[in-house]
Amino acid sequence: MIRDGLAALLSSDPEIEVIGQAGNGREAVDMARALDPDVVVMDIRMPEMDGLAATAELIGAPAGRNTRQDAGDPADVRPKVLVLTTFDLDEYVYEALGAGASGFLLKDASAADLVTGVRVVAAGDALLAPSITRRLIGDFARRRRHQRPSPAATAGLTPREMDVLRLIARGLSNAEIAAELVLAEQTIKTHVGHVLTKLALRDRTQAVVFAYENGLVG
């Protein structure tokens, strides 16, 4: 019943087409590989395989025509995963980000928030709700401090690319970064692509986590 309601809600948007529904994580992975969606809205608590394991398997394995093998390839257009979670289960959020999710929504989000979330994730942006991002990502970084890469990990970035990475971590869109740095939006897109490629990051969400883990933002 809940799935049907979410599907009806999303289908009401003229630019969103719901192409399948799955009742458990295993079915979700198999269906995503067969149907090749742009976005998967993933629950966490499901039978057979939970949403965290399903996300990790879906993001880490070939998924049809959209899959690129290079993890840091900015042209990588694998299905994006938007996870639904609850505020009092923060550990799920950390694990979801680590599994490769492009973002998350709280289950008490409004209908408009869900539609917007699908659009944001489909566009390749990170969906990190401003009201909880700092606490969640900051704590996530502290918990994984022992896994922090060497400072040499950012040695290959130019000063401008470092600026762009810091602004990505603040949640700014390409247009907002362009305005902040007084550059063309297409130039920012190029810089973002270089950042992801050089740091071997899959998407902007990973870039946010990387920046927090390495102390590039506070």
Rounded CA-CA distance 95/76 in Å is 22
Average pLDDT over residues 106-134: 77
d(CA 210, CA 136): 14
194 or 103, which is more confident: 194
pLDDT in tens, 5-51: 999 999 999 999 999 999 999 999 999 999 999 999 999 888 889 99
Higher pLDDT among residues 126 and 25, named by residue: 25
At 86-108, the pLDDT tens digits run: 655 566 777 777 788 888 887 77
> Which residues make Cβ contacts (< 8 Å) with residue 149, sequence separation at least 6?
210, 213, 214
The model's pTM: 0.68
Coil, strand or helix: which one is 24? coil
Which residues, at least 6 apart from 24, have a Cβ–Cβ distance to it below 8 Å? Answer: 46, 47, 48, 49
